[in-house]
Amino acid sequence: MRKLIEILIISFVFFLFSSYVFADQFRVTWIYDGDTFKAKGHNIEIVVRFIAIDAPEISYTKGKPSQPFSTQAKEMLTDLILNRTVDIKGYGLDKHNRLLAVVSYGGKNIGLEMIRQGLAEIYQGKLPDNFDLKHYSRAEFQAKTSRRGMWSQGDNYISPREWRERELRKEWAH
């Protein structure tokens, strides 16, 4: 019940101040995968999804494969921010009630770092109109041309978005 109330409060704040960008510090307590984590602060717990990046998909279903480089992405994110206090600049909630955010630690944009390391790509869905992808595009181009991380797969590379769609089609086929 408390979690529902917290989500409703955060949702209400973003609804009232839709142009307002939420910014504060939270301590990272759990890493789900290469682009999503849980954090605590100010007597609430939030789930944060990096805005503008999409990391390879981890399967939590027995017998269902994870996407190549998903484990490395989760490990990298764990090394960068787990149990650390990060700066979170939120841009609202996604359809799963996760806070979409730019996350920084030690002055470094962590989402951008995931792209630089070839462990995430630029998110292909809708982003806020005023969100500047210039640095993300440059980092992705450099990771691709250097064949870093997931880009080392060459023609075998499948985007996280396409991977999710393929896995969903497989589920519907059964």
Active site (annotated) includes residue 98:
yes
Active site (annotated) includes residue 167:
no
Q: What is the C-alpha to C-alpha distance for residues 59 and 67, in angstroms, rounded to an integer?
A: 8
Among residues 148, 167, 94, the alpha carbon closest in space to that of 125 is found at: 94
Query: Catalytic residue among 2, 6, 57, 162, which?
Result: 57
Phi, psi of 48 (to 5 degrees): -115, 135
Q: Buried b / exposed e across 22-44, counting CB within 10 Å, b at 16+?
A: beeebebeebbbbbbbbbebeee
Query: Catalytic residue among 98, 113, 116, 140, which?
Result: 98
Active site (annotated) includes residue 49:
yes
Query: Catalytic residue among 6, 27, 45, 49, which?
Result: 49
Place of tokens 């090394």: 79
DSSP-derived 3-state class of residue 169: helix
Catalytic residues: 49, 57, 98
